[in-house]
Chains A and B, each alone.
Chain A
Amino acid sequence: MALFDKIEVTPRDAATSAAIDGALSIRRVSKVYDPDGAGVVAVQDCSVEIAPGEFVAIVGPSGCGKSTLLNVLAGFDTLTAGEILLDGNPLASVSRPPQPGPDRVVVFQHGALFPWKTVLENIMYGPLRQKTMTNAAAEEKALDLLRRCGGLDTVASSYPAQLSSGMQRRVEIIRALMNEPKVLLLDEPFRAMDSVSKATMHRHLLEMYSLCRKTIVFITHDLEEAIYLADTVIVMTTRPGTVKKVLKISLPRPRLPQMMSSHEYLEIKRQVAEGVHEEAKKAFERGEREHA
């Protein structure tokens, strides 16, 4: 964006930004909440490098700071140490309060389609407000995206509450893609779904991903989902949240449901599960202590 173009690029950063858009570099980020001097460390010294177009899943027990990390990435929250670069340009640091923007759009845990706008109006919202498209062009693109994503153009004039929750989530992802973001941030978007609709949503998400290779940061506590969808799985420790394990998933794309019973998949799952369960147990025990 224009704002970032003006910033001088250091030689080291220039090397990373030579690649296509969407390289995220999280460097030694910490976040301490200090409401009344208590000093809760949500994220501590967290470093991750994400390549352009990479699908990264961040897994961890609830309360491990993965949502905090996402909020910092999205620009909803400040960080207390470290810095984040997007394509070599500083996105957030201690001296630079983060700002949300259409280059990294969030899909929310509970869904945040505007209930008072129709599906089409929701999808056209971004480009119209940023004034990057005319009304007609936005409508054309929106309908085209809807059509390509499983024929959703039939519900273009419905209100979100008239759709199933799976459809709502797909529409919300399309609304994000409309802005041509560099990064797509998904905050446990399928959390409240049953396993059948979850599987359908996985298929749709993978389709969308192969359609337009955006960098995706996908937050979840569901290990199997993370391995099945992502190129890289990052396991976070419980509070203070930091990176415990980074796993490259070598399963080929396109990913298919039957892969979930392949030897390779099960082997990866076994490796990650140990780390996650250890952390989940710690978090659980601490929760018991805190409420005792």
Chain B
Amino acid sequence: MRSSSAFVRWRKGLNWRGAVAVASFILLWQLLVRFKVPGFETIPTLSDVFSTFWTKYMLSAKYWKAWAVSFERVGYGFVISQVLGIPIGLLLGTRQMFHDVMFSVIEILRPIPPLAWVPISILFWPTNEMSIVFITFIGAFFIIVINVHDGVRSIKKEHLWLARSLGASPWRIFQRIIIPSVIPSIAVGMTLGIAVTWNVVIAAEMIASDTGLGRLTWEGYVSNTPAVVILGMISIGLAGYLSTKLVDYAEKKMMPWRKA
């Protein structure tokens, strides 16, 4: 009984239409390039990209260094944005006074696209590294602040009343009710944040750095080797995917009650 049901579930998980879609995407790409359809003359095939990776990049220290550098930037920017953003979001949600003073300030700064901060950031921060981390931070900061703020605001009033009528101190209410209720919003903010962070790091590296995966991709363009451009894109995609999985894992740890 058990094993047959496991088999059924496995067959359901293996969605053949999805596999067909991906396979035909790759095949179409290969064919368009092979038959030199206009617009695709300069594009390498997937096999070209792999052979480039195999021959030039797999053993190149510079390539793996680029991975490490980009991950480091994303890591710093992301962690700093959470460490600063979560408390500010909580304050905005719980302290009316703080909310009145600060919220419009945040609303003014928020619509400025993170990458528009690049030049000012380079001018301000003493090292290039710091300016890239700063831009990355900006990318994830407002997202987490707004998500935490909305999370606090949508806590059920009944929960707070109940706690108060049971005689809980404000600190206790904060600890036992506000924090756990806000965790799902924090998780949403983190998921959105990590995606934006990669996006920002890649662009910032193209504009203002000489290391990292974004730069690797950009150099592919400058040296007119499209295979490197696509290799860069695939690497970035993989890196982004890995860090999303990492954040997902952290979120699961934060929310044990979501298991079922």
Interface residues of A (CB under 8 A from B): 36-38
The A-B contact count (CB < 8 A) is 9
CB of B5 closer than 8 Å to a CB of A: yes
List, in ascending order, chain A residues with CB within 8 A of B9's CB: 36
List, in ascending order, chain A residues with CB within 8 A of B19's CB: none
CB of B96 closer than 8 Å to a CB of A: no
List, in ascending order, chain B residues with CB within 8 A of A37's CB: 1-2, 4-5, 8
A39 nearest in chain B by CB position: B1
Q: How far is the CA of A253 from the CA of B150 in the complex (A)?
A: 55
A36 nearest in chain B by CB position: B5
Interface residues of B (CB under 8 A from A): 1-2, 4-5, 8-9
Report 9 cross-chain contacts, Cβ distance below 8 Å, ordered by A residue: A36-B5, A36-B8, A36-B9, A37-B1, A37-B2, A37-B4, A37-B5, A37-B8, A38-B5
Q: How far is the CA of A82 from the CA of B140 in the complex (A)?
A: 59
Q: How far is the CA of A37 from the CA of B4 in the complex (A)?
A: 8
B1 nearest in chain A by CB position: A37
Q: Closest 7 interchain pairs by CB?
A: A36-B5, A37-B5, A37-B1, A37-B4, A36-B8, A36-B9, A37-B2
List, in ascending order, chain B residues with CB within 8 A of A36's CB: 5, 8-9
List 6 additional contacts besides A36-B5, A37-B2, A37-B4; criterion CB under 8 Å: A36-B8, A36-B9, A37-B1, A37-B5, A37-B8, A38-B5
- B13: shortest Cβ distance to chain A, in Å? 13
B6 nearest in chain A by CB position: A36
List, in ascending order, chain A residues with CB within 8 A of B8's CB: 36-37
Q: How far is the CA of A38 from the CA of B4 in the complex (A)?
A: 11
- B9: shortest Cβ distance to chain A, in Å? 7
Q: How far is the CA of A36 from the CA of B8 in the complex (A)?
A: 8
- B36: shortest Cβ distance to chain A, in Å? 51
- B257: shortest Cβ distance to chain A, in Å? 15
Q: How far is the CA of A276 from the CA of B9 in the complex (A)?
A: 38
Q: How far is the CA of A36 from the CA of B7 in the complex (A)?
A: 10
- A15: shortest Cβ distance to chain B, in Å? 45
Q: How far is the CA of A99 from the CA of B8 in the complex (A)?
A: 27
Q: How far is the CA of A37 from the CA of B5 in the complex (A)?
A: 6
Q: How far is the CA of A36 from the CA of B11 in the complex (A)?
A: 12
List, in ascending order, chain B residues with CB within 8 A of A38's CB: 5
A34 nearest in chain B by CB position: B5
- B7: shortest Cβ distance to chain A, in Å? 10
Q: How far is the CA of A148 from the CA of B1 in the complex (A)?
A: 58
List, in ascending order, chain A residues with CB within 8 A of B4's CB: 37
- B8: shortest Cβ distance to chain A, in Å? 7
Q: How far is the CA of A38 from the CA of B5 in the complex (A)?
A: 9
Q: How far is the CA of A237 from the CA of B9 in the complex (A)?
A: 32
- B10: shortest Cβ distance to chain A, in Å? 11
Q: How far is the CA of A173 from the CA of B219 in the complex (A)?
A: 68
- B127: shortest Cβ distance to chain A, in Å? 55
- B6: shortest Cβ distance to chain A, in Å? 8
List, in ascending order, chain A residues with CB within 8 A of B1's CB: 37
Q: How far is the CA of A37 from the CA of B9 in the complex (A)?
A: 11
- B47: shortest Cβ distance to chain A, in Å? 41
Q: How far is the CA of A37 from the CA of B3 in the complex (A)?
A: 10
- B112: shortest Cβ distance to chain A, in Å? 36
Q: How far is the CA of A36 from the CA of B9 in the complex (A)?
A: 8
Q: How far is the CA of A174 from the CA of B118 in the complex (A)?
A: 62
Q: How far is the CA of A38 from the CA of B2 in the complex (A)?
A: 9
B2 nearest in chain A by CB position: A37
Q: How far is the CA of A37 from the CA of B1 in the complex (A)?
A: 6
Q: How far is the CA of A37 from the CA of B8 in the complex (A)?
A: 10
- A33: shortest Cβ distance to chain B, in Å? 13
Q: How far is the CA of A36 from the CA of B1 in the complex (A)?
A: 8
A37 nearest in chain B by CB position: B5
List, in ascending order, chain A residues with CB within 8 A of B5's CB: 36-38
Q: How far is the CA of A36 from the CA of B4 in the complex (A)?
A: 8
- B33: shortest Cβ distance to chain A, in Å? 45
- B250: shortest Cβ distance to chain A, in Å? 29
- A279: shortest Cβ distance to chain B, in Å? 27
- B11: shortest Cβ distance to chain A, in Å? 12
B4 nearest in chain A by CB position: A37
- A41: shortest Cβ distance to chain B, in Å? 16
- A283: shortest Cβ distance to chain B, in Å? 21
B8 nearest in chain A by CB position: A36
- A236: shortest Cβ distance to chain B, in Å? 28
List, in ascending order, chain A residues with CB within 8 A of B2's CB: 37
